[in-house]
Amino acid sequence: MKHLEGKHILVTGGTGSLGQVLVRRLLSGEMGRPAQITVFSRDEAKQHYMRLDYMNKEAATDDVIYQNSQDLLNFRIGDVRDYSAVIAAVRQADVVFNAAALKQVPSCEYFPYEAVQTNINGAQNIVRAIRENRLPVELVVGISTDKACKPINVMGMTKALQERIFIEANRDCTDTRLMCVRYGNVIASRGSIVPLFVEQIRDNKPLTVTLPEMTRFLLSLDKAVDTIFAAINTGNRGETYVPQVASAKMVDVAKALMGNKDLPIVFTGIRPGEKVHEIMVSEEECFRTEERDGFYAILPVLPELRVHREVNIALTEEYSSKDGNLSLESLRTLLGSADREIAAYMSA
């Protein structure tokens, strides 16, 4: 079913790593051809180069900005922190993907209120725009993270509250389906460890790993988008979708990327706000987690939002990156399949 056929779609944070892949996949028409896709972000330079890339032009001309308003892909400068900018953008949307975020863990530790304003207030501005103006938005998908599960850092805490804001909003935004997706370390995203390792290997520098035992979930940008599309296709109001993906020790990721090189690995110690292992579904969430087509669907924490009272429980213990880590050989295969994404990131 082509759920997004003929829809006006708003992607906040659309110039980010995930946002750009999401836009590319939306433009492919696999979920139906939208009437228009609007990228909403505060970075005019990233929008400019994304626009040129879409139009297949290397240099800006006077017609680029004008033509943009006529095209399927549209760009809008704004910040999710600014309610007036949010309402102006959401007013024109049938579907909203909220990918705007402050997501680097140490940065959020040093500037916690900045994370609050983007990750919490930004989500609340979207909900407020729909609720107070009775906007006919059909679907909102909040992009969350494994760090929101049993959070110990500011980034995770703010994302956990973002999830609850979107989920609770289903109670009185009754014509809107608000959902979340939660996933782990995206291999080629900005600030991810894999591009850092690639740069260090390219420059023949020691590879920096925090702790020998540190693990993370690993998935490609396309798998992250698959999770979003799965939520759209089979998810209910207030649910949170989680992909079933591999996990690995970071020291093994470093070794797998090294290939035939023999570079030293230096352990630098845990950074502010970091976990040793990440969790995607907590033991408290297990009793309301179902399996659907290769994904986990966490039912709403508020029981009145659940479609069915009975749950086909899929997990008996928390879903943690410490379990079932990939072997070196399997890691090489996984990272090899993500080469295109890593190369695109490195050349950006």
As annotated, the active-site residues are 147
Which positions ≥6 away from 60 have C-beta within 8 Å?
A: 48, 52
- Dist CA 340 CA 344 (whole Å): 6
- Dist CA 33 CA 336 (whole Å): 31
Six-digit token pair at 250? 């970071």
Which runs of consecutive H residues, i.e. helices, occur in the chain? 17-27, 44-55, 62-68, 83-90, 105-110, 112-115, 122-133, 154-168, 193-202, 221-234, 250-258, 328-337, 339-347
Residue 141: left if φ>0, alpha if ψ -120 to 50, beta else—which one? beta
Query: Running DSSP on this structure, what letter comes out for residue 325?
Result: B
Distance of CA 228 to the CA centre of its chain: 9
The answer to whether the beta carbons of residues 157 and 105 sit under 8 Å apart is no
